[in-house]
Structure 1
């Protein structure tokens, strides 16, 4: 799983941009699934959430307080962003539709979340997309982008700093685009 590159006397580790089940013991389990219910956070996690309205601009101040530029947003178009900080420092944001279904997930932090759990039933489709993208690049590794009509996943980073996002285009609420998943 690891490959090493020697540069000027240093060894730099390059990591696969996705983690296969059971292949990285430090991956923290979060129990979420794209297209399903929000995760059950581990005991050492902290959780916060906020309701978003696609038709209104939400501005965050430096103190973290949010103010809305338009208070007249439709309740049916709203969604919730649920942010979970795992004990290892990785932050996972789930984008939850009004019906309780997760339509998008974003992550960043020092450790990669378990994408098998995070993507749920979409994981095999993701793995196939990664294999196809790598084959098209002659086997070259690097940031991964799987862009299909039913699933989009963008993932990359390096040891100690991983980030990515995934969403289901057909499940995006009205007024929400893939760029909103951050």
Structure 2
């Protein structure tokens, strides 16, 4: 954020555009926090508190995306129409739009989960693939943008986002595998 705040490209931008850009950067930072919370990698939080904070951060992430898109819409409606209709000539747009819709889908399902009667297993079957789409789409979107984010810090943040997500996915897979193996060994006895 500090490197982006010192970018010379900000001199020609208005406050709404700058707010929109920083909302996108904050969103990418929040994407990093999500797998750390669910994986229990943030030491002082219990698993329950980690899940609760994960829910609140998810809401903040959706809000940051709304601010990002609304700010860009205000500053350039034709560009946003092109992006949202997948007609934009910029290579980063479709990745951002796909990640945005995946974030909104997860947020909507999280809000309606109780009303829909989604069990934890069903929730995970839906949420995990959408989370992967969010991570990959967000990282590719950010890396393809040549803007105010400084290249090295942007790449480092993206590597951290990918690394945290891969670590969580591997840990979840190992937990499931161990649980299955334990269940199979008990069934055989």
TM-score normalized with structure 2 length:
0.23
Q: Which structure shows the higher helix fraction?
A: 2
- Give the number of the structure whose alpha-carbon radius of gyration is greater: 2
Q: Which structure shows the higher strand fraction?
A: 1
TM-score normalized with structure 1 length:
0.24
Q: Greater relative contact order (Cα 8 A, min sep 6): structure 1 or 2?
A: 2
